[in-house]
Structure 1
Amino acid sequence: MKPNLLIVDDDEAIRSQLRWALADDYNVYSAGDRLLTLELWRQHRFPVVLLDLGLPPRPADPDEGLATLTALLELDRNVKVIIVSGQGEKGNALRAVAEGAYDFLTKPVELEELRVILRRAFYLADLERELRQLHALYGGEGFEGLIGDCPGMQAVFHTIRRVAPSDAPVLILGESGTGKEVVARAIHRRSPRREGPFIPINCGAIPENLLESELFGHERGAFTGAHVQRKGRIEMAEGGTLFLDELGELPLPLQVKLLRYLQEQTIERVGGRETIPVNARVIAATNVDLRKAMEAGRFREDLYYRVAVVTIQLPPLRERGDDVVLLARTFLRRFAAEVKRTPAPQFTSAALRAIQRHDWPGNVRELENRVRRAVIMAEGRAITPEDLELADPGAAPPPLRTLREIRDAAERTAILNALQRNQWRIAPTAQELDISRPTLYELMERLGIQKPTSSS
């Protein structure tokens, strides 16, 4: 396949000439201003960009072109930007290179010289990409247990490095299965609190009548069954980090108590009157849109601004490009070692195609579970799409012969997607599908839907 190349120039004639001259070697895209340049880059993630310095609204000076260079490098520090400009003064050349440009050419461009520079730029970009992937694959499980080469994950790694040394509260956003707890643990390990405890609690997995005691602890005799005094998760996190997973599920009364702790750094146990100081950093995570929850009155605005001092957005796996293959091979190597399969199995080309084309509604957790199962169940050295329980994209799907089969297939897909979005919790899934919980259980049994085994 030909690599993608982006040409940015305010002159349509020059864009057309370069497109015609380079079309045999590259898939050529073009833009005439900064806005379209960044929009196209987000869609195609070009490894190499040809950039004119003179862009609207001020084509007579280099400022807009240099601003576009800076914006591209902020999106991806590894992109190779070759400046092509009629403004060939030494000062502009030095300034562009100092700000991260790969090379600098003046107009009119010698086509053969441009071809050579492009070949070198693409070759270097490919080498760097392969090096990053190899490092992630074999270099100790990537960055603090997080594996990813795409710009979205590189931005996550950058934010972790910046925020970890501070005590600022962090809010991690992302779909279920994207690795929010792994990010929280990475922040903790890179923080001054690394020697202290990391205490997680899933606010959506504990019944509401028990959650207050789990968070804040209770005194002996505070309620029926409270035979001894017990510390809560907040108190247990003293000197370390408290991780509040699925914060969006926290009931409003407990949101008030959590806000008070964040403001005063003190708690009171259930049934107690003693004020207890607790020094713990709070990291929260959710797959709920908290802004919509605030509009609906389900989440307090003041609490949101307390926990969201720094926000980290995790991209879903379907938007991470080649990361899905990198992750699949990492899991394959890890699980083959766990079950002592030697020689280790390998993915067939059909399995890799199926991995790349699957939407992964359950994100990294779903991929991990499928690869774990395939390592256990595959009989030979080759792991096929069937071992992963994925359809082979090269094979024709079996025909659905009856209306009942078509309806069952559609219902099964809809229910599976809703369950994965809601972390396999029955009540919110039934609410989303607008059916009762008994009906959901009946449908799951009839359609053969079972909750996958969880993994750490």
Structure 2
Amino acid sequence: MNTASVLIVDDEPDIRALVEITLSRMGLRTHAAATLAEARKCLAAQPFDVCITDMRLPDGSGIALVAEIQQRWPQTPVAVITAYGNAEAAVESLKAGAFDFVSKPVDVSVLRKLVDTALKLRGSERRDDTSTLLGEHESIRQLRALIQRLARSQAPVHISGESGTGKELVARLIHSSGPRASGPFVAINCGAIPTELMESEFFGHLKGSFTGAYRDKPGLFQTAEGGTLFLDEVAELPMHMQVKLLRALQERRVRPVGAETEVPVNVRVISATHRDLAELVQRGQFRQDLFYRLDVITVRTPPLRERPDDIPLLARHILRRIAREAGLENVPELDERAMSALQQYPFPGNVRELENILERAVTLCDGTSIRTADLQLRASVATSAHTGLEQQIEDMERQAIREALRKTRYNKTRAAELLGMSFRSLRYRIKKLGLDQE
């Protein structure tokens, strides 16, 4: 592979020299320019694998160079050097299409990691994993295209959408389609962490830093090093953690509980929530400065009711998966009326609810044909992704199956007869409800 070349655009000789020396030691070829005009001449004369530009130049703004490279040489990632603490400039550069940014004074270790990540884009497009985002509706087509564009950036992304629309799937696709694909993808539901453990979970702790800290433990940021940290339901973070998260994003450093020094981290953060963050900011329930840093680029996952024509494709895919997991010889199919009923149903729980409905229908159907009655849509109208009714139904099923098994001394064939279902359906429900682990 040919040695990569990097264009460095900065009017300060000391910074140019620092960046050139650092990149030369990485085995890279460097070219320097002090102005926009010089940079344009260099770009016109030869291709570059990476460009690093200062925000302020004698004859213009680095943002203008970012936009020009995006338009004329879109395969060249551009990183922007910003003044220390200038969060607005960093966000502005990312929104303009910059790959990433580095603050003055330039941290050599941060610069190396940034360039190394950018060079992973060199030579070819990243693999396209977006085929797992099923659907032919225009909103899904646009979403797949947007994921590919975002994969080439390190800008923070905020994914908004109703529960069950696939926000985590989108985050995983952005990760797996980009230069961090070989790094870890760490997902956490912010609403599921006890408040008193949040700081330790996010930033780690040292042995003896508090009661119960029997050993050093890395936090989520350290675990996601070199990869992506997905913060689901980020709106659930309490105010004190919002402050600490903002600092981690700005400084790219974290301080483990009990530590005296900070640890540098190289992590891309993607957040998501089903709530309206902008509205929460207006109500004083979410910090505006954190919102500004997380919501650099917004991605919306469309609800299922907006794309009913995609339901047949999704249903067939889900039914094939259910059959495979249940060990069924034949994949159940929806009859014409059942499919029509699904396409007219509003799906408050979106794709996740469609999965729940079809799993239940496979259990209830007679043979391999699923009818409208098997879908139990009337019972599902009141449910969404996480309603108590869905849990109550599963609890009732577990109890009925346990009782039938007890009465038949765990003869599954007789238990299935007692329950009025096929042996195949009973075996699937036992596995689905976790009864095979009891």
TM-score calculated relative to the size of structure 2: 0.58
Stretch moving more, 261-270 or 364-373? 364-373
- How far apart, CA to CA, are the structure 2 residues paired with 1:413 and 1:335? 22
Match of 1:314 among 301, 304, 307: 301
| Alignment partner, residue 266 of structure 2 | 279
| Alignment partner, residue 364 of structure 1 | 351
2:250 is matched by which residue type in structure 1?
A: Q
Match of 2:164 among 174, 177, 192: 177
Question: Following TM superposition, by how much is the alpha carbon of 1:388 offset from its aligned partner in structure 2, in angstroms?
Answer: 2.1
Question: Following TM superposition, by how much is the alpha carbon of 1:449 offset from its aligned partner in structure 2, in angstroms?
Answer: 5.7
CA contact 1:369–1:454 (8 Å) conserved in 2: no
| Alignment partner, residue 23 of structure 1 | none
| Alignment partner, residue 223 of structure 2 | 236
Q: How does 1:32-431 map to 2 (within 5 A)?
A: 143-391=130-378, 416=383, 420=385, 423-424=386-387
Question: Following TM superposition, by how much is the alpha carbon of 1:413 offset from its aligned partner in structure 2, in angstroms?
Answer: 6.0
1:184 is matched by which residue type in structure 2?
A: A
| Alignment partner, residue 408 of structure 2 | none
Give deviations 1:328-351, integer Å, cap 9, x for gaps: 111112222222322322111121
| Alignment partner, residue 101 of structure 1 | none
Question: Following TM superposition, by how much is the alpha carbon of 1:291 offset from its aligned partner in structure 2, in angstroms?
Answer: 0.8
Question: Following TM superposition, by how much is the alpha carbon of 1:211 offset from its aligned partner in structure 2, in angstroms?
Answer: 2.0
CA contact 1:142–1:148 (8 Å) conserved in 2: no
| Alignment partner, residue 98 of structure 1 | none
1:194 is matched by which residue type in structure 2?
A: A
SS class of match (2:246): helix
Q: Which segments of 5 or more consecutive residues in structure 1 lack a partner in the other structure?
A: 1-140, 392-408, 425-440
- How far apart, CA to CA, are the structure 1 residues paired with 2:164 and 2:433? 11
- How far apart, CA to CA, are the structure 2 residues paired with 1:195 and 1:142? 14
| Alignment partner, residue 19 of structure 2 | none
Question: Following TM superposition, by how much is the alpha carbon of 1:368 offset from its aligned partner in structure 2, in angstroms?
Answer: 1.2
Give deviations 1:66-93, integer Å, cap 9, x for gaps: xxxxxxxxxxxxxxxxxxxxxxxxxxxx
SS class of match (1:356): helix
2:253 is matched by which residue type in structure 1?
A: T
- How far apart, CA to CA, are the structure 2 residues paired with 1:320 and 1:454? 30
Stretch moving more, 279-288 or 375-384? 375-384
Give deviations 1:223-253, integer Å, cap 9, x for gaps: 2211111011111010000000001111111
| Alignment partner, residue 399 of structure 1 | none
- How far apart, CA to CA, are the structure 2 residues paired with 1:252 and 1:347? 48
Number of residue-to-residue matches in the alignment: 272
Label 1:144 to 1:413 Cα distance change in 2 as closer, same or farther (>3 A).
closer
- How far apart, CA to CA, are the structure 2 residues paired with 1:454 and 1:307? 37
SS class of match (2:308): coil
Label 1:256 to 1:454 Cα distance change in 2 as closer, same or farther (>3 A).
farther
Question: Following TM superposition, by how much is the alpha carbon of 1:257 offset from its aligned partner in structure 2, in angstroms?
Answer: 0.7
Give deviations 1:36-57, integer Å, cap 9, x for gaps: xxxxxxxxxxxxxxxxxxxxxx
Stretch moving more, 324-333 or 242-251? 324-333
CA contact 2:394–2:433 (8 Å) conserved in 1: no
- How far apart, CA to CA, are the structure 2 residues paired with 1:324 and 1:375? 17
2:182 is matched by which residue type in structure 1?
A: E
Label 1:357 to 1:327 Cα distance change in 2 as closer, same or farther (>3 A).
same
RMSD: 2.6
Stretch moving more, 182-191 or 152-161? 152-161
- How far apart, CA to CA, are the structure 1 residues paired with 2:279 and 2:433? 29
Q: Which segments of 5 or more consecutive residues in structure 2 lack a partner in the other structure?
A: 1-127, 398-431
- How far apart, CA to CA, are the structure 2 residues paired with 1:324 and 1:270? 48
| Alignment partner, residue 53 of structure 2 | none
CA contact 1:240–1:280 (8 Å) conserved in 2: yes
Question: Following TM superposition, by how much is the alpha carbon of 1:454 offset from its aligned partner in structure 2, in angstroms?
Answer: 10
Question: Following TM superposition, by how much is the alpha carbon of 1:269 offset from its aligned partner in structure 2, in angstroms?
Answer: 0.8
SS class of match (1:386): helix
SS class of match (1:204): helix
Question: Following TM superposition, by how much is the alpha carbon of 1:372 offset from its aligned partner in structure 2, in angstroms?
Answer: 2.3
Label 1:360 to 1:305 Cα distance change in 2 as closer, same or farther (>3 A).
same
Runs of 4+ that moved beyond 4 A: 447-455
